[in-house]
Amino acid sequence: MIEFFQKLLGLPVLASENGLHVDKLIIYIHWLMIALFIGWFAYFVYAIWRFRATRNPKADHHGVRGHISNYLEVVVAGIEVVLLVGFAIPFWGYASDITRLSPEDSAKAVTIQIVAQQFSWNVRYPGKDGTFGKQDMRYISDSNLFGVDPNDPAGLDDIQVSPAAQIHLPVGKPVIAYISSKDVIHSFKVIAMRVTQDAIPGMRIPTWFKPTKEGHYQINCAQLCGNGHTSMSGGFLVVESQEKYDQWLASKVGAATSFE
């Protein structure tokens, strides 16, 4: 049934587990819009009939005299505040909460760090030990974009790809991505994963998704970030089998930073 509506609405390819909720929400909103359309259209027809010229030969410059519409406005505004504060904000908190992953899921999750810049993406993997090395502004250089502390043993096996034309990920495992930016506000968006998270300088914001289908998926920047904004769409998420992913990762081991 969901597939039928996804096709009907022309929704883009879905390649993540979490994305199904997004598609369902889009479908529900369409039902709501249909209901609103029918309701407002009925009112429109009623208004045409009620205020027809034969019944109102002379225009009335006063219009409505009651206060019902004012009260209605306040009620509608109140409902919108409840929707935003009571539903939208807590739901977003719930959806983006990485601590909500089950212990098994978070144990096998792939954790990466993505740093956006004008006009490309950079990625860091924690390496074999699964721990990111400490970062410090002082160590940032052309070959160490993330400023990994060379004195921290946890950072020795970190893998940096910059700029990353491709961000490789294994299929079927949750991905926790810490998003930040080197310069201006960007936004990491992968439509196939139904994931969007602003990349804000000075902040390290976690987001997560679970790829379910192998393939190449375009990464977009969802914030107009400068004159080369569109070239950020040159980035791809490469979702592949665990074996291929391990091979790719092994090919990067030993290089503190690799350039694509």
Site residues, Cu ion (CB under 5 A): 186, 221, 225, 232
Query: What is the DSSP track for 205-245?
Result: EEEEE-B-S-EEEE-EE-S--STTGGGGGG-EEEEE-HHHH
Select 136 or 183, whichever has its Cβ closest to Cu ion: 183
Least Å distance, CB 199 to Cu ion, is 7
Are 206 and 178 a contacting pair, CB within 8 Å? yes
Which amino acid type is present at position 255?
A: A
Q: Which two tokens stand for residue 129?
A: 């030990």
Select 15 or 232, whichever has its Cβ closest to Cu ion: 232
Select 161 or 221, whichever has its Cβ closest to Cu ion: 221
Which residues lie closer than 8 Å to 95 by C-beta, 6 or more apart?
A: 18, 21
Least Å distance, CB 221 to Cu ion, is 3
Please compute Rg for the chain using Cα positions.
Answer: 25
Select 229 or 244, whichever has its Cβ closest to Cu ion: 229
Least Å distance, CB 189 to Cu ion, is 10
Least Å distance, CB 234 to Cu ion, is 11
